[in-house]
């Protein structure tokens, strides 16, 4: 497929890519392409900072860009046991975050698919749980709603009302025996999974990475 090409041109890069491929599940071509993109975004340096991502014009239109950019710099998404946020990321961390958006492979067992789904849900959960206390509180939820709507149009009270209604819905699904005066702490990861149980994640949380390596294309003889 072209893996041999890669190994011929840069043998030590190939070793590194193999390592990444094992960890993240991307193919070697995809890693090569993503590396080129990384260099484009990072202005040919070794790390990407938040500004590099904020400078992407198409991303600027996205109301949830702060959460998305934050996810790249969040240590929880690196599958190590650390928490906190970092200022700049290298290519490996970039790949780790991207790997959450891989579609499930055709040859995956049910268990692997379940595990992948849980991983994606965990990623989403981390994006909302900004203070990392294990729950999404009303305030954190409301913040997301506010970002999504433009403040001019509906005002802060309406955003609060929508957030409260949604939280109520979650509470009623997960803790049906709660009394009217009980305080609902926040959405835990289990509740989160419960809410999104029926939702088909496979087509929503996926980016279809292509396998084609654009730089090694050559013209054939004739057209």
Partner 1 sequence: MEDLWSMALQGLKIWLYLLVAFIMAPAMFGFSLGISEVYMSILVKTLEWATLKIQKASRDETTLKESASNGLIQRNDSSLEKEFEELRRSRPKPPVGGDFTLSDCFYFYRGGIESIVDDEVTQRFTSEELVLWNLLTRTNNHFQYISAKLTLVYGLGVIVRYCILAPLRITLATIGLTWLVIGTSAVGLLPDWRIKYWLSEWVHVMCYRICARGLSATIHYHNKENRPKKGGICVANHTSPIDIVILCNDGCYAMVGQIHGGLMGVVQRAMVRSCPHVWFERAEMKDRHLVAKRLRDHVSDKTKLPILIFPEGTCVNNTSVMMFKKGSFELGGPIYPVAIKYDPKFGDAFWNSSKYSMVQYLLRMMTSWALVLNVWYLPAMHQQEGENAVQFANRVKAAIATQGGLVDLQWDGGLKRGKVKDSFKEQQQKQFSSMVVGDDSSNSD
Tokens for 77?
Answer: 């998404």
**Of these, 54, 112, 182, 202, which contacts partner 1 (CB under 8 A)?**
54
Please, which residue, 133 or 211, has the CB nearer to partner 1? 211
> Site residues for partner 1, window 135-174 (CB under 8 A)?
141, 144-145, 148-150, 152-154, 158, 162, 165-166, 168-169, 172
Residue that has been written with the tokens 């484009």 in this structure? 40
Per rule CB under 8 A, count of chain residues that contact partner 1: 68
The verdict on 62 binding partner 1 (CB under 8 A) reads yes
Q: Tell me the CA end-to-end span of the chain in Å, nearest whole number.
A: 22
The verdict on 41 binding partner 1 (CB under 8 A) reads yes
Determine the Cα–Cα distance for residues 12 and 7; give it in Å rounded to an integer.
Answer: 8
Residue that has been written with the tokens 């509180």 in this structure? 137
Q: What are phi and psi of 85, to 5 degrees?
A: -130, 155
Q: What are phi and psi of 136, to 5 degrees?
A: -100, 110
Please name which of 196, 24, 19 lies closest in space to residue 100, comparing C-alpha atoms.
24
Smallest separation (angstroms) from partner 1 to the CB of 154: 5
The verdict on 84 binding partner 1 (CB under 8 A) reads no
Q: What are phi and psi of 49, to 5 degrees?
A: -110, 175
- Binding interface with partner 1 (CB under 8 A): 5, 8-9, 33-34, 36-37, 40-41, 53-65, 67-68, 98, 101, 124, 127-128, 141, 144-145, 148-150, 152-154, 158, 162, 165-166, 168-169, 172, 192, 195-196, 198-200, 204-210, 212, 214-221, 223
């Amino acid at each position: 497929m072209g893996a041999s090409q890669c190994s011929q041109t840069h043998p030590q890069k190939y070793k590194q890519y193999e390592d990444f491929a094992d960890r993240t599940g991307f193919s070697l071509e995809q890693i090569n392409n993503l590396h080129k993109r990384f260099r484009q975004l990072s202005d040919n340096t070794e790390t990407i900072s938040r500004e590099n991502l904020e400078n992407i014009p198409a991303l600027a239109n996205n109301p949830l860009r702060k959460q998305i950019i934050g996810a790249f710099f969040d240590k929880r998404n690196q599958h190590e046991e650390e928490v906190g946020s970092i200022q700049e990321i290298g290519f490996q961390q970039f790949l780790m975050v991207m790997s959450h958006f891989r579609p499930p492979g055709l040859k995956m067992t049910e268990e692997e698919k379940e595990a992948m789904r849980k991983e994606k849900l965990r990623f989403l959960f981390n994006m909302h749980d900004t203070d990392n206390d294990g729950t999404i509180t009303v305030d954190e939820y409301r913040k997301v709603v506010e970002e999504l709507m433009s403040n001019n149009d509906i005002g802060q009270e309406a955003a609060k009302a929508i957030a409260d209604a949604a939280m109520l819905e979650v509470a009623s699904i997960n803790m049906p025996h709660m009394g009217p005066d009980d305080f609902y702490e926040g959405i835990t990861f289990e509740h989160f999974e419960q809410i999104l149980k029926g939702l088909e994640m496979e087509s929503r949380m996926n980016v279809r990475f292509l396998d084609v390596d654009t730089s090694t294309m050559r013209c054939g003889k004739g057209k």
